[in-house]
Amino acid sequence: MTETGFWSHPLVETAGYFSVVVLCLIVSMVLFEIVTKYKNWEEIRKGNVAVALATGGKIFGVSNIFRYSIEQHNTLPQMIGWGLFGFVLLIFAYILFEFLTPKFHIDKEIEEDNRSVGFISLTISVGLSFVIGASIS
């Protein structure tokens, strides 16, 4: 098998995409941890369902954006760029959600295990990931 043939084999490509996306997900989750006022993984360990919903929504959203990015990319850097750009948009949506709800603070409600707010956060992340993904060209 030639070198080009090896690198273009579907199993090798899938392993490559998987590895890169997992690495990007880790980076995304570290950034999400910085943006929120609570400690995501510590709260999840304590059983905070609202934090689990919000974090799960971000993981699903970023993964979904990468799905679209893999389908449409021309190069690996483009795929990574679109995926990370999509994550930035999801973080922007999270901040906008906080701004548009002046009667309460999203981070505080999620930290206090308000599952309704956690679910809305999940829904925003998942829903917008489809919009962001559809716009990737």
102: left (phi over 0), alpha (psi -120 to 50) or beta: alpha
Maximum mean pLDDT: which of 54-58, 87-91, 101-105: 54-58
**Tell me, what's the pLDDT at 99?**
86
Portion of the chain with pLDDT greater than 70, in percent: 94
Query: What is the overall mean pLDDT for the chain?
Result: 88
Whole-prediction pTM value? 0.84
Mean pLDDT, range 33-46, rounded to an integer:
92
Residue ranges of domains in the chain: 3-135
Counting every residue, how long is the chain?
137
User: Over 90: is that where the pLDDT of 116 sits?
Assistant: yes
Sign of torsion, CA 72 18 125 91? negative
Whether the Cβ atoms of residue 32 and residue 55 lie closer than 8 Å to each other? yes
- At 48 the pLDDT is 98
Record the tokens describing residue 101, joined without a space.
């709800």
Whether 70 shows a pLDDT value over 50: the answer reads yes
pLDDT at residue 13, as a whole number = 81
